[in-house]
Structure 1
Amino acid sequence: MAAAIGLREGFDAKVLQALAKRTKDGPQPRRLLALAAIYDGATRSEAAKIGGVTL
Structure 2
Amino acid sequence: MGAAVGITRVDLTASELRKAAQREKDSSAARRMLALALVLAGTDRRTAAESCGMDRQTLRDWVHRYNA
TM-score bracket for this pair, using the shorter chain length: 0.7 to 0.9
Identity score, percent: 36
Does 1 or 2 have the higher relative contact order (CA < 8 Å, sep 6+)?
2
| Alignment RMSD | 1.8
Structure 1 or 2: larger helix share? 2
TM-score, normalised with respect to structure 2: 0.68
**Any conservation in 1 of the 2:39–2:48 contact (CA below 8 Å)?**
yes
For structure 1, the residue ranges without an aligned partner over 5 or more in a row are none
TM-score, normalised with respect to structure 1: 0.82
Aligned residues: 55
For structure 2, the residue ranges without an aligned partner over 5 or more in a row are 57-68
- Runs of 4+ aligned residues of structure 1 deviating over 3 Å after TM superposition are 1-6
